[in-house]
């Protein structure tokens, strides 16, 4: 499970206040579900500011120092950030303004700009101090907006305020939102001077000023979430087109994913969210919503089988044609709220299938779900999840190998499936023999042949980067293992894109896995796809490149040995899933089989093949209209012209635009107010 660097650096706007003229120090505490995950200390000395962030989760360790000088309008005029990124890549970034010329450079980028007015430089990586200073600059501006470097415009909005009491001390805090940094505004609570007080990071972390009791976070979180949800509810109301009348799609080419064939010139009727008629002959009904599918291709709605959902993800997924999502690790409160918002139609998002997340308590534990210190407690956690409607259990790298067999037996007795990371010092084959129904991540397949690896640490990435290409995929040993997976029906969720990206990324270069979309993204999101994640030494560069190809070769071998596969993203919603399918095709899997990994196979796996996964009468109308035929060109999946979820219609170009993303392809125009029914051309 991976947290993108930009979700820490940008999603917080966690962020400070007006710079004091005297010396002052403020410390913030990062809390995860189990306790303290990190700290941030910000010190002011006149117009000089320094910050140090130390934050850890799982095998990630973010350690950054920064210093900057405040100039006119609260805008930094000199800045230096250095340290290490979560996966170990070095960070060294500098910015300065001299005689009206702004210049910035790092291992990943360099640029300059002339400006007669202050412009706020957004570092690619930063601690909280610079993001705090952005809020101060916005508060100091006349209209609470400011131009950004390298480009863009940030705006500040006040969304809520409340007064907190602790003993005899009272503090009025303000909920601010900052737009212009990412897909949606970023929120945080600030005091009357404009200094950060607290922020909730969507279940990953909560941040609170040191000295205030953690109990204050509950009410602050509730009101922050309410404001964030209101934004998405307004966006959803604007961009969800509801057809009260039946919907007729005429003259459309339809992909039969079961047969792997294209059925040409079909007519399909949707009533009350279900497909009620399909025919070769035209269907003629009065007063209906009509969609002319001529020259376009209809496929079943896509499934993402490896997600860690946030409310915003529903819009990104829907724009990409991803309607059904399996969540493989979240806090219970967060995923239940998301499921409720999606299913009620308050915000855009399809059906959610929940996996309960579990890890053994350790310094490397992932604490998004529940942690355990004993096998008996682990079984109790399974019961807790089962009683609340979870469909499977996902375990993580710190689990004790000897627990897996008895735990699997208990999980299966409750009617749930077991999947996850292979525990440290256990092989994938041992986990499968002990009862694993599914394996997450393609690196675990390579580690199976590398001996006892501590998968709690970065070794699970670096060993694959340095040595995966050395494994003979045509060997009897590999064939025997893959045949066992096929015979047992063990599902593999490869998340190939995430690992290919990690291995191929280099300082100063754009991540090749996202080259097709990068220029469409907001600038400060795009920048996060430039540079390395791992600290790859020059002598290993060729090894990593060869190992990235070995990932694709393993994907092909899985298919050749008939190992069941499901497509999952574990990355930026929508976009990563589409790239995952492109990589499957690049590996040599026929396009029809590629489509099955994101339609028919997932629906069957979660027991929903009777209602989804294919296009047939009686099933839910989860459909994606494409310009192009994905059976011939898998990249046609990027050319979404319309997404249909029951009686709801979505134009992807409008959804992308609402998130600050340049659309990839024109959508089908939609009108719901024409006399005599609705025409969609």
Instruction: List the structure tokens of 507.
Output: 């300082």
State the number of CA atoms in the 13 A half-sphere of 155 facing the CB: 7
* Mean pLDDT computed over 401-422: 97
Q: How confident is the model over 463-475, as pLDDT tens digits? A: 999 999 999 999 9
Q: How confident is the model over 625-666, as pLDDT tens digits? A: 999 999 999 999 999 999 999 999 999 999 999 999 999 999
**Bond from prior residue into 150 cis (ω within 30 degrees of 0):** yes
* Mean pLDDT computed over 14-34: 69
- Rounded Cα gap, residues 217 and 221, in angstroms: 6
Q: How confident is the model over 231-247, as pLDDT tens digits? A: 999 999 999 999 999 99
- Rounded Cα gap, residues 52 and 129, in angstroms: 8
Residue 191 dihedral angles phi and psi, to the nearest 5°: -85, -175
pLDDT of amino acid 469: 97
Strand partners, 358: 370, 395
Are 195 and 17 a contacting pair, CB within 8 Å?
yes
Instruction: Give every CB contact of residue 9 below 8 A, 6+ residues apart in sequence.
Output: 123, 124, 125, 126, 131, 528
pLDDT of amino acid 674: 42
- Residue 542 burial class via C-beta count within 10 angstroms: exposed 0-12, middle 13-18, buried 19 and up: exposed
pLDDT of amino acid 241: 95
Residue 455's pLDDT band, with cuts at 50, 70 and 90, is confident
pLDDT of amino acid 8: 33
Give this prediction's pTM.
Answer: 0.92
Are 368 and 205 a contacting pair, CB within 8 Å?
no
Are 321 and 297 a contacting pair, CB within 8 Å?
no
pLDDT of amino acid 15: 34
pLDDT of amino acid 303: 98
Q: How confident is the model over 68-108, as pLDDT tens digits? A: 999 999 999 999 999 999 888 899 999 999 989 999 999 89
Are 523 and 183 a contacting pair, CB within 8 Å?
no
Helix (H) or strand (E) holding 667: none
What whole-number percentage of the chain has pLDDT above 90? 83
Q: How confident is the model over 180-228, as pLDDT tens digits? A: 999 999 999 999 888 899 999 877 789 999 999 999 999 999 999 999 9
Q: How confident is the model over 143-185, as pLDDT tens digits? A: 999 999 999 999 999 999 999 999 999 999 999 999 999 999 9
């Amino acid at each position: 499970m991976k947290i993108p660097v930009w979700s820490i650096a940008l999603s917080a706007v966690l962020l400070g206040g007006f710079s004091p003229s005297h010396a002052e120090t403020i410390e913030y505490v990062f809390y995860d579900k189990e306790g303290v995950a990190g700290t941030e200390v910000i010190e002011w000395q006149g117009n000089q500011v320094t910050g140090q962030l130390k934050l850890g989760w799982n095998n990630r360790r973010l350690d950054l120092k920064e210093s900057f000088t405040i100039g006119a309008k609260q805008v930094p005029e000199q800045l230096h950030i250095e340290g290490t990124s979560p996966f170990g890549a070095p960070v060294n970034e500098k910015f300065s303004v001299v005689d009206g010329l702004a210049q910035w450079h790092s291992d990943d980028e360099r640029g300059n700009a002339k400006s007669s007015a202050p412009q706020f430089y957004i570092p690619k990586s930063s601690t909280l101090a610079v993001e705090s200073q952005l809020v101060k600059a916005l508060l100091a501006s006349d209209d609470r907006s400011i131009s950004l470097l390298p480009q863009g415009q940030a705006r500040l909005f006040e969304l809520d305020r409340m007064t907190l009491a602790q003993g005899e001390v009272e503090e009025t805090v303000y909920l601010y939102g900052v737009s212009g940094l990412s897909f949606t505004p970023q929120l945080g609570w600030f005091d009357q001077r404009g200094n950060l007080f607290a922020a909730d990071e969507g279940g990953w972390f909560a941040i609170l000023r040191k000295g205030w009791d953690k109990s204050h976070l509950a009410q602050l979180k509730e009101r922050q979430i309410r404001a964030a949800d209101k934004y998405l509810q307004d966006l959803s109301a604007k961009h969800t087109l509801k057809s009260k009348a039946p919907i007729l799609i005429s003259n459309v080419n339809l992909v039969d994913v079961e047969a792997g064939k294209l059925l040409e010139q079909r007519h399909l009727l949707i009533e009350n969210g279900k497909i009620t008629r399909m025919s070769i002959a035209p269907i003629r009904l009065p007063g209906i919503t009509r969609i002319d599918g001529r020259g376009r291709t209809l496929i079943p709605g896509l499934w993402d089988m490896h997600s860690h959902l946030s409310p915003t993800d529903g819009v990104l997924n829907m724009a990409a044609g991803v309607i059904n999502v399996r969540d493989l690790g979240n806090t219970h409160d967060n995923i239940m709220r998301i499921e409720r918002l999606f299913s009620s139609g308050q915000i855009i998002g399809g059906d959610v299938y929940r996996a309960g997340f579990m890890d053994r308590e350790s310094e490397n534990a992932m604490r998004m779900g529940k942690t355990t210190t004993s096998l008996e407690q682990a079984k109790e956690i399974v019961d807790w999840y089962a009683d609340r409607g979870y469909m499977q259990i996902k375990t993580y790298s710190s689990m004790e190998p000897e627990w897996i067999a008895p735990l699997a037996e208990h999980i299966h007795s409750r009617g749930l499936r077991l999947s996850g990371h292979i525990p440290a010092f256990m092989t994938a084959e041992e986990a499968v023999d002990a009862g694993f129904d599914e394996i997450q991540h393609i690196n675990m397949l390579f580690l199976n042949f590398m001996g006892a690896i501590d998968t709690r640490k970065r070794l699970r990435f670096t060993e694959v980067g340095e040595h995966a290409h050395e494994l003979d995929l045509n060997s009897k040993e590999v064939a025997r293992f893959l045949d066992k997976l096929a015979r047992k029906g063990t599902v593999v969720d490869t998340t190939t894109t995430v690992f290919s990206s990690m291995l191929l990324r280099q300082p100063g270069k754009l991540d090749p896995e996202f080259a097709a979309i990068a220029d469409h993204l907001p600038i400060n999101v795009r920048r996060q796809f430039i540079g390395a994640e791992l600290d790859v030494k020059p002598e290993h560069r060729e090894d990593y490149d060869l190992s990235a190809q070995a990932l694709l070769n393993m994907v092909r071998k899985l298919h050749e040995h008939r190992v069941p596969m499901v497509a999952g993203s574990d990355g930026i919603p929508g976009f990563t899933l589409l790239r995952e399918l492109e990589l499957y095709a690049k590996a040599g899997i026929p396009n029809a089989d590629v489509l099955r990994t994101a339609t028919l196979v997932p629906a069957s796996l979660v027991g929903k093949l009777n209602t989804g996964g294919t296009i047939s009468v009686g099933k839910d109308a989860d459909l994606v209209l494409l310009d192009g035929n994905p059976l011939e060109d898998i990249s046609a999946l990027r050319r979404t012209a319309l997404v249909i979820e029951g009686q709801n219609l979505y134009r992807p170009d409008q959804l992308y635009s609402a998130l600050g993303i340049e659309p990839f392809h024109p959508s089908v125009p939609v009108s719901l107010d024409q006399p005599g029914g609705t025409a969609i051309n």
